[in-house]
Amino acid sequence: MSETTEAVLERIRFTDSGLVPAIIQQWDSREVLMMGWMDAEAFRRTMSEGRVTFWSRSRQEYWRKGDTSGHVQYVKGAALDCDGDTLLITVEQIGAACHTGTRTCFDGDVLEPAVGFSSIETEDR
């Protein structure tokens, strides 16, 4: 039997601001697409409507990816991390996930570690 949304909400460790980070990942390729913030209501909407809903900290309002751009995120699954303070939402991404128009928000600024493997060595792993 699956856990109800309300039961999951009781286990989520929200920040003092009532938010939890939600990592959005393409369900089949496992590509990380973006991170957004959710409060309890955004999580409820995401789980009940089948489309990802976020809370905008700057605008202080709910927003659904794709409502204006058409780049919709259809929910395929959800998981709570071991500490209960981060959500992983797997989606079918239609179009770009990033507001800049790129597929993912993590493709524009690759950072090299100060120590360890170079990009080439890391890519071979």
Hey, which CATH number is domain 5-124, 3.40.50.10470, 3.10.20.810, 3.30.1300.10, 3.40.50.20?
A: 3.10.20.810
In angstroms, the CA 124 to CA 121 distance is 5
What are the extents of the domains in the chain? 5-124
- Tens of pLDDT, residues 92-109: 999 999 999 999 999 877
Tokens of 91: 């989606």
- Tens of pLDDT, residues 50-90: 999 999 999 999 999 999 999 999 999 999 999 999 999 99
Residues 58, 59, 61, 64: is their CA dihedral positive or negative? negative
> How does residue 124 score in pLDDT terms, banded at 50, 70 and 90?
low
52 within 8 A of 65, measured Cβ to Cβ: yes
19 within 8 A of 57, measured Cβ to Cβ: yes
Closest CA to 87 of 99, 77, 72: 77
